[in-house]
Amino acid sequence: MRLLARLLEPRATAHAHCDLPCGVYDPAQARIEAESVRAICEKYQQNDDPAFRTRALQIKEERSELVKHHLWVLWTDYFKPPHFEKYPQLNQLFNEATKLAGGGGGTKSSTEVATADKLLAKIDDIGKIFWETKQG
C-alpha cells in the first residue's frame, strides 16, 4: 500500500495566484457593463418619454450593480498581496471605481454621462494593471 501511495504522489507542486485558471478573470466584463451604463445615460438625456426613462433607469441601475460585482470579483479573487505591494494605488482605484458604479453620486444614482466616463477611466486604469500582472 505504501508503494502505491508513493507511486501516486505528485512529483511537482503547482502554484497559482488565483482560484481558477486565469482565463476566468477579465476587467472587460466590468467595462462592457459600464459602457452600457454610459449609453443608457446618453439615451436617457435624449428622450423625454416617462416610460422610456423609467425603464432606462431600471436597466442602468442593474448594469451599475453588475459593474460593481465584476470589480469586486477582480479585487477580492484575482488580485493578491504581491499585486497590492507592487501597485500600491490598486486598492484606491478599486474603491473609487466601485463608488463610481454605486449610489451617492455614482452611476447607479446619476444619469450624467460624465460620471460614466469617470467610471470607464477607472476601469481602464485597473485593466492596465491587470494586464501587467498577466505578463508576469
Measured CA to CA, the distance from residue 95 to residue 7 in angstroms comes to 49
> What dihedral do alpha carbons 6, 8, 12, 16 form, nearest 10°?
-130
CB 64 within 8 A of CB 107: yes
**Residue 103, pLDDT score:** 84
CB distance 64 to 108 below 8 Å:
yes
Furthest-apart CA atoms within the chain: distance in Å: 77
pLDDT at 24: 77
> Per-residue pLDDT tens for 53-86?
999 999 999 999 999 999 999 999 999 999 999 9
CA 89 vs. chain centroid, Å, equals 16
The grid coordinates listed for 111 are 444619469
Cα separations (Å) of 6 from 3, 13, 15, 103? 5, 15, 21, 57
Distance between CA atoms of 38 and 3, rounded to whole angstroms?
A: 63
Extract the C-alpha cell encoding 1.
Answer: 500500500
Task: Count the Cβ atoms, other than its own, within 10 Å of residue 53.
Answer: 15
Using one digit for the tens of pLDDT, what is the confidence trace for 115-135? 999 999 999 999 999 999 988
Given a cut of 60, is residue 40 above it in pLDDT?
yes
Q: In whole angstroms, what is the distance from residue 77 CA to residue 69 CA?
A: 12
CATH architecture for residues 24-135: Up-down Bundle (1.20)
In this predicted structure, the answer to whether residue 10 has a pLDDT above a threshold of 90 is: no
* Extents of the domains making up the chain: 24-135
